[in-house]
Structure 1
Amino acid sequence: MSFEQILFYISVYIPPLLFAIALHEAAHGYMARYFGDNTAYMLGRLSLNPTKHIDPIGTIILPAVLILLKSPFIFGWAKPVPVVTRNLRNPKQDMIFVALAGPGANLVMALLWVVLLKIWVILDIQSEVLITMALFGIRINLLLMLFNLIPVPPLDGGRILVGLLPIKFSLMLSRVEPYGIMIVFALILLTDLSNLLGMSIYYLQKGILQLFGF
């Protein structure tokens, strides 16, 4: 791969990924503050500035390697926004909304990328960089949304499920959290989870693009 190709991949794919992750984390912080926890605010994490949320390995190195290797499954993570559950007015119920805020923000950003793509098409802006960036922006936000909705803590889907289950079962599920990421990676490696995510993203992206007349 030439230096020009590497530069193209980095300039096109890294910005949408950084902002997708930053918006996801900031949304958790804003929702937590709405329900009474100011921890993220006091730590300066209520920001759309990606540098506030960057994890060197999960936000930059791993996604860059996967992009350069043309991996069909690109993902990453940021520094989690701290939420002190006991500060929430109704911890069990409020945590559902705090967890939902991240995937919800990614859905909104995916739609914003579609709007930008539509504007560029209307203005007849024929730029491979901008079009590729927009399409990747849609895809990476849908991926982050669906991946985080996997119902295994500490992913958002797991925390939503903990909030929805009766207290006995929610306590049992919350004990999985220290091993949750290992469980998710095992599912990706040993099952068809990655294919299921890929197909779900494909049909979601197709449906959204059709909704906007593409």
Structure 2
Amino acid sequence: MNWDLLATYVARAVALLTAIPVHESAHAWASDKLGDPTAKRYGRLSLNPLRHFDFLGALCMIFVGFGWAKPVPIAAATNFRHPRRDMALSAAAGPASNLLLAFLCMIFYKLVYYLAPGTQGWIFVSAVLFQMVWTNITLAVFNLMPVPPLDGSRIATVFLPRGAYFGLMRYERYIMVGLFAVLMLGWLDTPLRVATNFVWNLLVSATGFIEAILRAVL
């Protein structure tokens, strides 16, 4: 059996139950704190995966490596005091939650790597944690791309003239189809891998205290 491949699929499935619900509920939480309770009223301020489930997005997440959930409803123009700024903050909350999860998974990965016995079961757990870190980083990096309808586009629009912002949003659906095609063709594989590796190395450094503690204790 290919344990690494199985670990990849298990990690992606676990990501559906953890990373994506946390990502979407982070959007809902941030928008609620900024004055828009729309997502909360629709039940999206929840870690229940079924609240955010999109069947096709879930399948793509497991078998392709990228996917999506149901969009979080936000009434920015009606409820935000500063619509563009607050929309950007709400958008940034999603990738930030994935980076936090990646940080926590990296801690557990290092603890298992250094402390767990080298049995097949623990090796598999270590592989799943490794993939969980990678999956969460990938989700964060992917969503931070400044391309509609990704979160990065909501953040980038803060720096665009108002007319350019609404002009870009008018073509959001077509841009999304183009983005999906580019992903399927693999044209973004290299830049996404470079960015993901960069964030991975940052997290390795940020969790360096684990090795320091283990050296002092063991």
Do both proteins adopt the same fold according to a TM-score greater than 0.5, normalized to the shorter chain?
yes
Aligned to 2:68: 77
- Give identity over the alignment, percent: 36
TM-score w.r.t. structure 1 length?
0.84
Following superposition, the deviation at residue 65 of structure 1 comes to: 2.9
Residues 54, 70 of structure 2: 8 Å contact kept: yes
The one-letter code sitting in structure 2 at the alignment partner of 1:174 is M
Distance 1:182 1:25, change over 3 A: same
Verify the 8 A CA contact 1:96 1:164 in the aligned structure 2. Answer: no
Matches within 5 A, 1:139-178: 139-178=134-173
Answer whether contact 1:54 1:79 (CA < 8 A) is retained: yes
CA offsets per residue over residues 56-105 of structure 1, 9 Å max, x none? 1212x223333xxxxxxx11111111111122122121111011111111
Deviation at 1:169, TM superposition (A): 1.8
Q: Is the 8 A contact 1:45 1:53 kept in 2?
A: yes
Q: Which residue of 1 aligns with 2:215?
A: none
Determine the C-alpha separation between the residues in 1 that align with 2:108 and 2:4: 24
Alignment of 1:42-57 (within 5 A): 42-57=41-56
1:110/1:39 Cα in 2 relative to 1: closer, same or farther (>3 Å)?
A: same
* Aligned counterpart for 1:201 among listed residues 196, 199, 202: 196
Take 1:167 and 1:23, find their aligned partners in 2: how far apart are those partners? 31
Stretches of structure 1 lacking an aligned partner (at least 5 in a row): 67-73
CA distance in 2, matches of 1:28, 1:8: 28
Give the drift of 1:118: 2.5
What does residue 63 of structure 1 align with?
A: 61
Q: Does 1:15 align with 2:14?
A: yes
For 1:33, the equivalent position in structure 2 comes to 32
1:108 aligns with 2:100: yes
CA RMSD, Structure 1 to Structure 2 (Å): 2.5
Q: Which moved more, 1:204-213 or 1:166-175?
A: 204-213
Superposed displacement of residue 188, structure 1: 3.0
**Aligned partner of 1:14: which letter?**
A
Distance 2:124 2:186 in 1: 35
**In the aligned structure 2, how far is the partner of 1:40 from the partner of 1:182?**
25
Q: Which amino acid aligns with 2:30?
A: M
Larger deviation, residues 149-158 vs 23-32: 149-158
Q: How does 1:119-130 map to 2 (within 5 A)?
A: 119-126=111-118, 127-130=122-125
Contact 2:29 2:45 in 1 (8 A): yes
Structure-2-length-normalised TM-score:
0.83
Give the letter aligned to residue 64 of structure 1. Answer: I
2:110 alignment counterpart: 118
